[in-house]
Chains A and B, each alone.
Chain A
Amino acid sequence: MKETESKAETMDTQDGMAAKDAGLKVLGQDAPVQQGTTLAAARAELDTGAGWQGLDTAAAHPGFGRRIEQEFPAHAGEWVDPVSRRGFMKLMGASLAMAGLAGCTKQPDEPIYPYVKAPEDLVLGKPNYFATAFPFNTGALPLLVKSDAYRPIKIDGNPEHPMSQGGSDPLSQGSLLGLYDPDRSQHVLYHLEASSFPDFKKALIRDLAGMPGGQGLYILSTTITSPTLAAQWKDAQKRYPQARLIQYDPVNRDSARRASKAAFGDFYDAQYLVDKADVILSLDSDFLSGITHPGFVKLSREYADRRKLMDPSIEMNRLYAVESMPTTTGFKADHRLKLRASQVAAYARAIAAAAGAGSAGSSGNWTGEQQAFLAALAADLKANAGKCIVIPGEQQTPEVHLAAIAMNQALGNVGKTVVYTETVVPLPSIQLDDFKSLVADMNAGKVQWLLMLDVNPVYSSPVDLMFADALKKVPKTAQLGSHLDETAQVVDWHINDAHYLESWSDARAYDGTLSVVQPMIEPLYGGKSAHDVLQTLLDDPSRSSFDVVKANWQPLLAGKGNFDDAWRKVLHDGFAANTAFAPKALSANVAAALGAETQPVPGDDAIEIIFRPDPSIYDGRYSNNGWLQELPNPIVNNCWDNAVLMSGPTKVKLGLAESDVVEISLNGNKVRGSVLSIPGHPDNSFTLHLGYGRTHVGRVGAGMGFNAYAIRTSATPLFATGAIFKKTGDTYEIAVTKSHYSDERGPMALWGSAETGDLRSHSLEGDEAITRGIVRYATLEEFRKEPNFAHEKGVFPEDPERDNTLFANFPYDKNAWGLAIDQNSCVGCNACIISCYAENNIPVVGKHQVKTGRDMQWLRIDTYFEGDLQSPRAHFQPMMCQQCENAPCEEVCPVGATVHSPEGLNVMVYNRCVGTRYCSNNCPYKVRRFNFLLFSDYETESLKLMRNPDVTVRSRGVMEKCSYCLQRISAAKIEADKENRAIRDGEIVTACQQACPTNAIVFGNINDKNSRVYKIKNQPRNYGVVADLNTRPRTTYIAEVFNPNQALAGGAPVEHAPEHS
């Protein structure tokens, strides 16, 4: 039913985008109101010929949309927007209910269903914690899952794990909603009709009998991360030697694999020891953004640990970034160079040559800025030989990886800051080559049975391979999948997938440490895992995945005493201690592998297309995850859609404007997307994020954005040159959570103009943030000279005296909660935002509401761009309720719904709130969120299981905001009071702090002189944002310190004082 709903919407218009276009345009203009329409005329207009079978049929009828527009012009957009269409229904329903029942507050009878036999270790009302791991193709992320009455309700990193130390990232945090996604596929289907898993097994085994040695059996799987699954495959191969396994993910590690094969003759993973590096060079490597980059959690923590400046014995590192699209890594770098993606390889070669590794390429045609950068960088690398790292980007070519291997070897970094180990995935392969041979075999009719495990190739395979056509030539196809996606529509068998929180498996983390993936909950819809499907091919087809995994661990835990004890310890701890990979002594013949040949660098004017996995929904597998869809992308903060990202000057030069829909053609394939400018992007180059434009995924993801896979070919999966674009004349607006468009104002507005040739532009917000001291920073040298730079008189506004207020000062004689945010450590990865979603039951509002400015995220990351937007410096600042001691919101609330607690919290009493929104108007930080419509989903059963029972699910008409995770404070207070002791430092951890991989956020009692937060806040770099308004915020920020190379100091804006020109 739900699936047909979304289908109806998309099928009706062919292209989901067109539908939304129509809706959005209606919003902009006044819909023509027809006067005097007769009932008969309306009936005629709505006549479908076949009658309605329900509201969905009616909604799909174009006449219905027209009537709605005429009747409710303001809500027309909501009707078209699939997410807020539900909201609209709720709004109307709620109004009707209110009309009849206002004032009647008698509560209905509430039943209690006690256990029949209570589980022994369960104390209702108290959570249990279980260790597991989030399997991902760049290495598993070890987790500790909070479980309330055995329902997982919060995911966090495992603090005891040697690699992650408790860090997590947005994708792993968001996977909780993936479990409870109401649109998950719930049944085994045969030709989209209900069937069963035993039927599937019977059919497969019957067919296999006629396939000697498994000839014609092909398995197409997502990257296998489980050693047990790999072992199962090896067993299967013994039985069916002719069967073939192909692993393919649209975003894969092929470049690293090819480079490793060329340099070392086999597949190895590079592990970077960032904590030991004084100088780090990122070659288009986004290792500070998320687990799309292997080892993100560890690399970002080690990067930040060297930048905290708390311990004078720890020397600050220096990060150089060469990148082809703006990422947080680039903007956290001390020096950033934007470079067209196609030039990075040649530039990497040039750096390698200058650093003494291999000979220079021919294309040394660099600009002055690029040459200066190169010279200074090479000198710095050489001066820090053995104490530097070169990290190549996963989305760059094998050549870049080879150059990095060469440099790391020539600089003597191997064994010191970089080590080579076995691969984290058990069956490494060059995925694109395998996939191409699979499609060739399919076309040649060699494939009898194609078993697809957690892949969606109909949607995401390279467009030139025409996978969907090849699939028609395969007699029998089956897919194990989490949603009824594009592939599920055309296969014979669809098996509903078990979520990783529902199934047994295992995986290795970045450092090689083994973890068991243990289920947190019985499969909600009886889903099966890849283990169950592969087991079908083996002797004992019904063996449970638990038995399979446990048996496979017997040898792994040999020599650790009694197996059952060791196994229980692994399950308890979440990992098997001392199973990290030992470094391999490898020597690469890089000079030979790198070769002398260079690809010709295309001219600067050719339009280049860069394909990147989306920072939130990755390759599309998280499309139906509302938290991740609504999560603003780092840098430009767009959500719910991908965009044609380009630099401002390119936009002006090509005669485009924001929201223009352009048609991009690449080798004859076409896609239409909307233009969005992003500061710091190289010119004549468009970045397209993958994963959008889904047609079949569910109510949240279907129809959002455009499908960049439509122009991605197997020849150029990373980036392609020579695109042609055409302005279509349509516009399509993208939801941007920050005031993106004010970046276009200011003294040098609109990216200059094409006529004058002056394409410089400034961000108004960025300029204001610098002048008003919202962000404060200095260079390392300036900081050493003047540690108190953040409070320099005359430069930054001063905080007023404590008594300079009309209101009485509250005494805080016991606990006084405070939060410190180290801006040097914050890498803007967004993990905290998703963590906050889960902890605080924050609703998803949908694209239309985000555009209206009604997003409900309690925590946001503000990005301020400083300097010319062609290559700015960016500052990331997590912003949530600052819990002002002198709170402006409290003074204006007419009903006392926001009040001050004795411990200094600014608390919201939802039940008192009448929704005047005065508090929000008076808040200088703009951190209060008003629930305009009934944003919380009270109906969907599966989402009820996910909610944090300790936090109220807020209703319509109520203001809400960050509470410093009050529920956690209360729980700790009660435990401490029961035990008659003070609350220990570190006992209360806020959700954002817990998720942060770099420990940028620290919470605690500022009255306790020994607490970590006190020590951090006691630094001279501590300052409050707009504290000159006498708000006395409890959340304070630690000013940034950059560590620029003196040789390049002129090239980057490193002055901390604003230029008053």
Chain B
Amino acid sequence: MAQIFDRSSNALARMSLILTGLIVIALGVTLDQLQYSPWVTRQGQRADQPVPFSHKHHVQGLGIQCQYCHTTVERSSYAGIPPTKTCMNCHAQIWTNAALLEPVRRSWATGESIRWIRVHDLPDYVYFNHSIHVNKGIGCSSCHGRVDQMPIMYQENSLQMGWCLNCHRDPAKNLRPANEVYNMAWQGPSTRKPVWCGTAGDKDGVPTAQTVNCTTVDPSQVGARTASLDMLPPTDSPETHMLDIAAHPNGAAGPTGADNVNYTKFTDQESLGLFLLKQYHIRDPHELSSCETCHR
């Protein structure tokens, strides 16, 4: 009786074994990659919102500050979605008949909330807190991207754990002066655009953002005074202190001694980050990447 299988089938059998292995591996890699793909992370997806609200128009076009709507970002874990009232502050006066704003007017008239779709949605077991990030010099755009250039809001970053840890293990690379947190166009210092930072001395109980002052204008030039207005005046005599800074902008010893600001010039993110890491008392990476920081 003739053999059913020819000798050449051996090669075929080997091939199919290898192929099966390859397919399994490919499938594994595909599934793994799928977890990081925008299909799962929703990066770049524009949700179908009831009102096609344009951050670009309101932020870049009109220059509205982030906190005008996201009022609790500095105080609470939750940045806050503006109530209909906030929209109506202006839209009771302008674009009162715009068809696009119909859901807003309906909400205002009926008292029912506008039903937005959450764009940045962390899993429920992650306890993210906006206030601590904003207070410690992490800018809005570090996580949310150039919101001022988004006609329709979308998620810029993956918001996955690996992405969070990237920064929690080395926060210095994203730290910026607290007064630049809401600056969407902030790009970090460079030789062409240096940053000068000074500290008025660390004080216990005084928020770090108020004892560190940074400016993008050379403090030895006129105009530094405007920048230093952000800084909390020392306790005793606010007026004199303001004058001190103005009088001794480059940190020369002034009458009040320790209260004076010594400005340092930074031309790269690394050195600025390390300076701020120290000044802002950022906890060390060991603590920041410990599980209980975000999960409980």
Contacts and interface: CB of A to CB of B under 8 A. Distances in A.
Interface of A: 105-107, 109-118, 123-126, 899, 901-903, 905, 907, 909-911, 950-952, 963, 966-967, 970, 974, 977-982
Bin chain B's interface residue count: 35 or more
Interface in B122-152: 123-125, 127, 129, 131-132, 135-136
Contacts of B76: 123-126
Contacts of A116: 83-85, 107-108, 111-113
**A-B pairs with lowest CB-CB distance, top 6:** A125-B78, A125-B76, A113-B113, A115-B83, A125-B77, A114-B81
Contacts of B80: 124
Contact of B121 (A107, A902, A970): A107
B47 A109 contact: yes
Given A111-B115, A125-B78, A974-B129, 10 more contacts: A111-B117, A114-B116, A125-B72, A901-B290, A907-B290, A910-B295, A952-B296, A970-B296, A978-B136, A979-B206
Contacts of B39: 106
Interface string B60-88: 00000000000010011110111111000
18 contacts: A106-B39, A106-B40, A112-B115, A114-B114, A116-B85, A116-B112, A117-B85, A123-B75, A902-B286, A902-B290, A907-B291, A911-B295, A963-B296, A970-B296, A977-B136, A978-B207, A980-B202, A980-B204
Given A950-B296, A970-B292, A126 B83 contact: no
A111 B107 CA distance: 15
A236 to B, nearest CB: 38
A903 B284 CA distance: 12
B46 interface: no
B257 interface: no
Nearest to A963: B296
A649 B202 CA distance: 71
Interface string B202-230: 11111110010000000000000000000
Contacts of B77: 125-126
A919 to B, nearest CB: 15
B44 to A, nearest CB: 15
Interface in B171-188: none
B107 to A, nearest CB: 6
Contact of A909 (B40, B207, B295): B295
B117 A112 contact: yes
Contacts of A952: 124-125, 295-296
Interface of B: 35, 39-40, 47, 72, 75-78, 80-85, 107-108, 111-118, 121, 123-125, 127, 129, 131-132, 135-136, 202-208, 211, 281, 283, 286-287, 290-293, 295-296
A970 B292 CA distance: 8
A907 B81 CA distance: 32
A109 B119 CA distance: 9
With a 10 A CB-CB cut-off, give which of A114, A115, A909, A951 has the most chain B CB atoms: A114
B36 to A, nearest CB: 12
Given A116-B107, A124-B78, A978-B135, A966 B113 contact: no
A981 B206 CA distance: 8
Contacts of B286: 902
A951 B206 CA distance: 30
Contacts of B124: 952
A970 B123 contact: no
B248 to A, nearest CB: 25
B114 to A, nearest CB: 7
Contact of A111 (B83, B111, B118, B206): B118
Contact of A970 (B40, B111, B281, B293): B293
Contacts of A124: 72, 76, 78, 80
B117 to A, nearest CB: 5
A468 B139 CA distance: 70
Contacts of A950: 127, 296
B7 to A, nearest CB: 42
Contacts of B111: 116
Contact of A980 (B35, B75, B281): B281
Contacts of A125: 72, 76-78
A105 B40 contact: yes
Contacts of A981: 204-205
Contacts of A978: 131-132, 135-136, 207
B112 A909 contact: no
Nearest to A897: B291
A935 to B, nearest CB: 17
B199 to A, nearest CB: 12
Nearest to A105: B40
Contact of A977 (B113, B116, B283): B283
Contacts of A105: 35, 40
A327 to B, nearest CB: 37
A113 B116 CA distance: 7
Given A910-B125, A974-B132, A981-B204, A109 B118 contact: yes
B206 A980 contact: yes
B125 A110 contact: no
A899 B118 contact: no
Nearest to A108: B121
A911 B125 contact: yes
A963 B123 CA distance: 21
B129 A114 contact: no
A123 B113 CA distance: 18
Given A967-B296, A980-B208, A115 B290 contact: no
Nearest to A911: B125
A117 B87 CA distance: 10
A977 B281 contact: yes
B26 to A, nearest CB: 17
A950 B292 CA distance: 12
Nearest to B47: A109
Contacts of A114: 81-84, 113-114, 116
B126 to A, nearest CB: 9
With a 10 A CB-CB cut-off, give which of A109, A125, A901 has the most chain B CB atoms: A125
Contacts of A966: 292, 296
Contacts of B121: 107, 110
Contacts of B132: 974, 977-978
Contacts of A106: 39-40
Contacts of A905: 292
Given A124-B72, A952-B125, A980-B208, A115 B47 contact: no
A117 B75 CA distance: 19
A123 B72 CA distance: 6
A116 B295 CA distance: 32
A117 B117 contact: no
Nearest to A976: B205
